């Protein structure tokens, strides 16, 4: 089918790799010290007797190593993130470099495909059509959870039928948690099937000392920042609108923070700060209005507010309300019809809400009341992308201005940037990083490793200096309370309020609020000078400084 001129040029791009892979993915393994867990060591050890405590590994080039052919299957799990196709390309090229007879299969439509035995073989013609492209459409993705023993047995049966010796799960914290449980089971059953993970999510919250970034974050933030920059230019041209821009990132505010730093928006909300300071919705609104008043005094009746999509869950009163709604809806789904139309606090209480949550719920506009009771995702998360927080905050600020500063012109526009960033053609950074992650997964498989997340470090340096290795998944786990039960999970990385990126915002935000010091990042560039095309995010640069 027809492809654009850029697609054609991009198809020829050869992603960069760490030097250790100069002769392919057949490498020697260097083992580090044994690992433990992020917390709750005894519980994690008891739950993962087969895989707990394995060492982190690095690689050393080996030109003479020979490896037998291996069949590998790949699964894309959860939300799209730019670069997923390059992870698959890295695995493909990596296992072929191990042995030219190796084969790559893709399970279709996410983890569910591995259970239902829906798959395809990815040959070189198919692979070539997807190199350096955005999206997950090569095999599709899904949010089915792999967690039941019956599902694991089915996956093992399906893999054995295709003689698959290793499975690569490209996913976020939840999917890799489940990947680790599967790896443990495969080992306990002596199935001979290895399970390796690759750190995916635009949200940027799968990160720790060994995983410097999840892939897709770089590209998504660059796309949103381009758009925010364009809107800022429009705002200071038209000089009449305040723009309220919600950006994706279900829980952590890494995306909002990065976009705020890239564009120097007037206000950047950070959910983690909202929670730490126990801010109320009213307080957030009054604070934005205060900035609008100050800017209006300078004749600037415009501004840019960046809102993380998850903020609603971090406002303490809303958090309690959402937790109560989650509980009620889990027991009686029909409440999603009756709650939004309840007439008063008494009625809401009779449905099971506490008095306080009932009055918070009632104070919300009708559309938000409706959105708060929509279906949860399979992991039990509220679908924050579908709650129009940007509208809610914009209209509350507008109301506040009318009530308190009727003499000041204030007019709002609102936007949501989410899906438009998730499937963009990967930036050079993500194209290279993803390809390297895939190659790393192949090297780990070649070395017989399981229950590891592919890790590529030293990302602030040129790709040739990146350091590839494998990190035991159990070393990232702790025990958390989920749906009323204690579960081992990979610890989610939220924005750290004492971390360098947030401190950079704090150091500048008063000035950015008052003045219109916008920076216009412009569209992602794929060809041209290094400083234009290959810059990592500000978050990564500050964190690795």
Residues flagged as binding site for substrate? 201-203, 240-241, 248-250, 309, 419-422
The interface mask with ligand FBP, positions 32-71, x = CB under 6 A, is: ----------------------------------------
- Residues with Cβ < 8 Å from 425, sequence gap 6 or more? 6, 7, 10, 82, 132, 133, 134, 219, 524, 526
State the nearest-atom distance from the C-beta of 432 to ligand FBP, in Å: 20
- Tokens standing for 520? 């216009």
124-to-91, 93, 129, 485 alpha-carbon distances in Å = 12, 9, 9, 45
Q: Is 384 in the site for ligand FBP (CB under 6 A)?
A: yes
Closest CA to 304 of 259, 273, 258, 252: 259
- Structure-block tokens of residue 12: 């020829």
Binding residues: 79, 173, 201-203, 240-241, 248-250, 309, 419-422
Does 227 contact ligand FBP by CB under 6 A? no
Shortest reach from residue 77's CB to ligand FBP, in Å: 7
Task: Check binding of 15 to ligand FBP (CB under 6 A).
Answer: no
Catalytic site includes residue 203: yes
Of 85, 291, 414, 422, the residue at the interface with ligand FBP (CB under 6 A) is 422
User: Which ranges of 3-98 would DSSP assign to H, the alpha helix?
Assistant: 5-11, 41-47, 84-98
Q: Residue 94 or 172: which CB sits closer to ligand FBP? A: 172
Kindly name the residue from 40, 101, 128, 203 that is annotated as catalytic.
203
| φ/ψ bin of 414: left (φ > 0), alpha (ψ from -120 to 50), beta (otherwise) | beta
203 binds ligand FBP (CB under 6 A): yes
Residue 124 tokens, joined? 């070189």
Q: Are 478 and 39 in contact (CB under 8 A)?
A: yes
- CA-to-CA separations, 293 to 258, 406, 415, 513, 516, in angstroms, rounded: 26, 11, 22, 11, 14
The nearer residue to ligand FBP, 65 or 487, going by C-beta atoms, is 487
* CA–CA dist 47, 37 (Å, integer): 12
Whole-angstrom distance, CA of residue 429 vs CA of residue 533:
8
Three-state DSSP state, 277: coil
| The one among 83, 134, 249, 303 contacting ligand FBP by CB under 6 A | 249
3-class DSSP state for residue 117?
coil
Q: How is 413-454 classified by DSSP, letter by letter?
A: EEEEESHHHHTSPPPHHHHHHHHHHHHHHHHHHHTT--SEEE
Count Cα neighbours of 63 within 13 Å in the Cβ-side half-sphere: 2
Q: In this chain, which of 248, 257, 259, 321 binds ligand FBP, going by CB under 6 A?
A: 248
Binding-residue pattern over the window 450 to 489 for ligand FBP, x denoting contact by CB under 6 A: ----------------------------------------
Provide the mask over 484-513, with x wherever binding to ligand FBP is found by CB under 6 A and - wherever it is not: ------------------------------
Least distance between ligand FBP and beta carbon 110 (Å): 10
Q: Residue 202 corresponds to which tokens in the numbers above?
A: 């635009």
Stretch that binds ligand FBP, among 30-38, 242-250, 265-273, 456-464 (CB under 6 A): 242-250
Question: 276-315 mask for ligand FBP (x: CB under 6 A)?
Answer: ---------------------------------x------
Distance of alpha carbon 257 from alpha carbon 101, whole angstroms:
46
Give the dihedral of Cα atoms 277, 304, 544, 56; nearest 10 deg. 70
- C-alpha span between 173 and 491 (Å, rounded): 7
> Would you count residue 385 as binding ligand FBP (CB under 6 A)?
yes
Tokens (6 digits) for 330: 């889990």
**Smallest distance, ligand FBP to C-beta of residue 422, A:** 6
Whole-angstrom Cα Rg for the chain:
24
Q: Does the footprint of ligand FBP cover residue 204 (CB under 6 A)?
A: no
Parallel/antiparallel/unpaired status of strands 119-121 and 452-457: unpaired
Other beta carbons less than 10 A from residue 123's beta carbon? 11
Does 446 sit near ligand FBP (CB under 6 A)? no
Q: Which stretch binds ligand FBP (CB under 6 A): 124-132, 199-207, 359-367, 530-538?
A: 199-207
Q: Which stretch binds ligand FBP (CB under 6 A): 73-81, 110-118, 152-160, 229-237?
A: 73-81
The smaller minimum CB distance to ligand FBP, of residues 414 and 422, is found at 422
Q: Using the minimum distance from each CB to ligand FBP, give the nearer residue, 29 or 312.
A: 312
Residue with token string 């905050």: 393
For ligand FBP, the closer of residues 21 and 136 by Cβ is 136
Q: What are 93's two structure tokens?
A: 């090229």
Q: Which helix (H) or strand (E) holds 482?
A: strand 477-482
Secondary structure (3-state) at 197: strand
**One residue of 18, 24, 78, 260 binding ligand FBP per CB under 6 A:** 78
Q: How far is the CB of 370 from ligand FBP (least distance, A)?
A: 17
* Beta strands per DSSP E along 35-162: 55-61, 71-76, 103-107, 119-121
Min CB(493)–ligand FBP separation in Å: 12
Work out how close the CB of 380 gets to ligand FBP at its nearest, in angstroms, rounded to a whole number: 13
Q: Which stretch binds ligand FBP (CB under 6 A): 37-45, 75-83, 276-284, 504-512?
A: 75-83
Residue 15 or 78: which CB sits closer to ligand FBP?
A: 78
For the bound state, the minimum distance from the C-beta of residue 70 to ligand FBP, rounded and expressed in Å, comes to 28
Under the binding rule (CB under 6 A), the answer on residue 250 touching ligand FBP is yes
Burial class (CB in 10 A: 0-12, 13-18, 19+), 449: buried
User: Which of positions 312-371 make contact with ligand FBP (CB under 6 A)?
Assistant: none
- With CB under 6 A as the rule, give the number of residues binding ligand FBP: 14
172 binds ligand FBP (CB under 6 A): yes
* Residue choice 79, 94, 303, 426 for contact with ligand FBP (CB under 6 A): 79
Which residues of the shown chain bind ligand FBP in the complex (CB under 6 A)?
A: 78-79, 81, 172, 201-203, 248-250, 309, 384-385, 422
- Residues acting as catalytic residues: 203
């Amino acid at each position: 089918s027809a492809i654009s001129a850029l697609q054609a040029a991009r198809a020829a791009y050869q992603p960069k790799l760490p030097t250790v892979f100069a002769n392919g993915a057949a490498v020697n393994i260097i083992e580090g010290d044994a690992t433990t867990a992020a917390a709750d060591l005894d519980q994690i050890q008891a739950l993962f007797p087969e895989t707990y405590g394995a060492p982190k590994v690095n690689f050393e080039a080996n030109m003479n190593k020979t490896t037998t052919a291996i069949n590998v299957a790949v699964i894309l799990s959860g939300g799209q993130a730019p670069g997923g196709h390059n992870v698959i390309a890295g695995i493909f090229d990596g296992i072929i470099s191990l042995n030219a007879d190796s084969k790559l299969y893709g399970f279709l439509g996410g983890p569910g495909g591995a259970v239902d035995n829906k798959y395809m073989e990815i040959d070189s013609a198919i692979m070539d059509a997807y190199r350096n492209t955005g999206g997950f459409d090569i095999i599709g993705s899904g949010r089915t959870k792999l967690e039941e023993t019956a599902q694991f047995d089915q996956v093992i049966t399906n893999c054995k039928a295709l003689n698959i010796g290793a499975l690569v799960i490209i996913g976020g914290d939840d999917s890799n948690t489940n990947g680790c449980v599967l790896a443990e089971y495969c080992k306990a059953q002596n199935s001979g099937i290895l399970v390796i993970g690759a750190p995916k999510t635009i949200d940027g919250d799968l990160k720790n000392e060994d995983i410097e970034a999840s892939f897709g974050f770089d590209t998504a933030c660059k796309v949103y920042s381009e758009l925010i920059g364009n809107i800022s230019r429009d705002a200071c041209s038209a000089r009449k609108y305040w723009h309220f821009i919600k950006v994706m990132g279900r829980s952590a505010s890494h995306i909002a923070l990065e976009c705020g730093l890239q564009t120097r928006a007037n206000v950047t909300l950070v959910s983690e700060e909202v929670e730490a300071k126990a801010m109320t919705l009213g307080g957030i609104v009054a604070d934005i209005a205060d900035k609008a008043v100050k800017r209006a005094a300078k004749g600037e009746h415009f501004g840019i507010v960046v809102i993380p999509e998850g903020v609603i869950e971090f406002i303490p009163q809303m958090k309690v309300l959402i937790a109560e709604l989650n509980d009620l809806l889990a027991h009686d789904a029909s409440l999603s019809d009756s709650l939004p139309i309840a007439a008063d606090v008494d009625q809401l209480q009779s449905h099971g809400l506490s008095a306080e949550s009932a009055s918070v719920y009632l104070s919300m506009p009708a559309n938000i009341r409706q959105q708060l009771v929509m279906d949860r995702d399979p992991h039990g998360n509220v679908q924050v992308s579908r709650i129009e927080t940007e509208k809610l905050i914009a209209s509350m600020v507008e109301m506040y201005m009318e009530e308190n500063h009727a003499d000041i012109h204030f007019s709002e526009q609102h936007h949501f940037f989410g899906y438009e960033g998730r499937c963009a053609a990967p930036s050079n950074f993500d194209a290279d990083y993803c390809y390297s992650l895939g190659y790393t997964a192949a090297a780990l498989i070649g070395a017989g490793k399981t229950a590891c997340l592919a890790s590529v470090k030293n990302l602030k340096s040129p790709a040739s200096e990146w350091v590839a290795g494998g990190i035991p998944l159990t070393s990232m786990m702790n025990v958390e309370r989920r749906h009323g039960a204690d579960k081992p999970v990979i610890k989610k990385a939220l924005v750290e309020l004492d971390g360098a990126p947030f401190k950079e915002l704090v150091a500048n935000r008063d000035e950015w609020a008052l003045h219109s010091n916008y920076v216009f990042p412009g569209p992602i560039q794929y060809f041209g000078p290094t400083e234009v095309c290959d810059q990592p995010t500000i978050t990564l640069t500050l964190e690795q400084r």
